[in-house]
Amino acid sequence: MGRYLEQLFAGKRIESLQREVAELRKELDEARLAVATLSEASERSRLREQARIDAATYDAFFPLFRDLTPILARLLADSRGHDHLEQPVDQLLETLQFHGLETTGTLGAEVPFDPNLHDAPRDAGLTAGESVVVRARGLGFKGARLRKIGVSRQG
């Protein structure tokens, strides 16, 4: 009879432990679901905040870059060929690019003229597709064009 009681109690203990394991698994699944839900909510919140920061940055910097465009264009043009100016101007450009300034065009490159992208002297009489040389880089800010790429006829 002692052996029978031991098996009976062992069987009941196993059943009890199995129920406990099932309950713990259920709690773990619920905790995982809660963590996943919080992670998704956190990511949505982070994306909203990043969008807000991006918009505020654009609103703050766009007028500044727009107002600086003529000065930057002149600085870029005047620094060419002057070793003592090239390094500080390059450092300034790197800093401004970090904050969203975009430069387009490679000085000296031969490209087909595109009146939507290029600015040429009014009396140049250029037609779309005609080969031109880039004389000045274009400037932009986060996709907004501030200054077209300066070009001229070859020669």
The structural domains of the chain, with segments of one domain joined by +, span 2-153
Q: Which carries the bigger pLDDT value, residue 33 or residue 13?
A: 33
Strand 118-119 relative to strand 149-153, pairing: parallel
* Structure-model confidence comparison of residues 2 and 105, the more confident one: 105
Please tell me the predicted confidence (pLDDT) of residue 138: 93
pLDDT of residue 76: 81
Over the stretch 26-69, which tens digit does the pLDDT of each residue have?
999 999 999 999 999 999 999 999 999 989 988 988 898 899 88
Q: What is the pLDDT of residue 49?
A: 97
Give the whole-angstrom CA distance, residue 41 versus residue 82: 54
